[in-house]
């Protein structure tokens, strides 16, 4: 069986040798001056940039499970701030999607799965005693539109956000790429 990594490394060697990278050459500054927070969903890998007319170099894209800002001083918020202050992004777009894995996700089945894969009850207890609410941390959202509004609010009202930056909220259809506008950042 070919291993994932071997396959990647073999392909990569040829990619570089053949100068395939030349058509992707650009800079670290987003041509379209935006930073996008979206979901890691596989269906969005190519669909989202195509549906938004984004080519290589056009946008900073941050991905996580659910397009969520789970902590105001976590790495997602830091990435947004770096994009705005250091990399010339001027607008923020939060783009969640319908049929997201984080929609309605409960912590219990994930924890069950962890136990089956060898995470001990003791480890889970230690985390709880250390003040980590693992159930809260793993929980998804009930409504994707509410979730987008919440993420937009968190970003917009962050104490370190420049006041004039528009923060938009959208939901994309993972099949058709159609965008629904939830929050128009120009009006907020
Ligand atoms: Zn998702």
CB neighbours of residue 58 within 10 Å: 17
User: Is 39 assigned to a binding site?
Assistant: yes
pLDDT at residue 1 greater than cutoff 80 = no
Mean pLDDT for 132-151 is 93
Helix (H, G, I), strand (E, B) or coil at 103: strand
Instruction: Tell me, in angstroms, the distance from the centre of ligand 1 to residue 40's CA.
Output: 6
- Residue 24 is predicted with a pLDDT of 96
Instruction: Tell me, in angstroms, the distance from the centre of ligand 1 to residue 43's CA.
Output: 9
- Residue 70 is predicted with a pLDDT of 87
Output phi, psi for 45, to 5 deg.
-50, -55
Q: What is the pLDDT of residues 35-78, one digit of tens each?
A: 999 999 999 999 999 999 999 999 999 999 999 998 999 999 99
Structural domains in the chain plus CATH codes: 27-101+142-188 (3.40.1050.10), 106-139 (no CATH)
User: Is 146 assigned to a binding site?
Assistant: no
Instruction: Tell me, in angstroms, the distance from the centre of ligand 1 to residue 69's CA.
Output: 13
pTM of the model: 0.92
């Amino acid at each position: 069986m070919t291993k994932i990594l071997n396959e990647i490394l073999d392909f990569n060697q040829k990619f570089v040798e053949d100068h395939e990278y030349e058509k992707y050459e650009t800079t670290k500054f987003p041509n379209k001056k935006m930073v996008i927070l979206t979901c890691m969903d596989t269906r969005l890998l190519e669909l989202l940039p195509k549906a938004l007319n984004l080519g290589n170099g056009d946008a900073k894209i941050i991905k996580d499970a659910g397009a969520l800002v789970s902590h105001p001083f976590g790495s997602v918020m830091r990435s947004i701030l770096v994009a705005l202050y250091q990399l010339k992004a001027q607008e923020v777009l939060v783009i969640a999607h319908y049929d997201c894995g984080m929609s309605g996700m409960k912590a219990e089945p994930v924890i069950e799965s962890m136990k089956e894969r060898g995470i001990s009850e003791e480890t889970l207890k230690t985390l709880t005693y250390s003040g980590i609410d693992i159930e809260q941390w793993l929980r998804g959202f009930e409504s994707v539109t509410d979730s987008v509004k919440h993420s937009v609010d968190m970003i917009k009202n962050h104490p370190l956000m420049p006041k004039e930056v528009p923060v938009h909220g959208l939901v994309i259809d993972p099949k058709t790429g159609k965008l629904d506008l939830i929050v128009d950042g120009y009006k907020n």
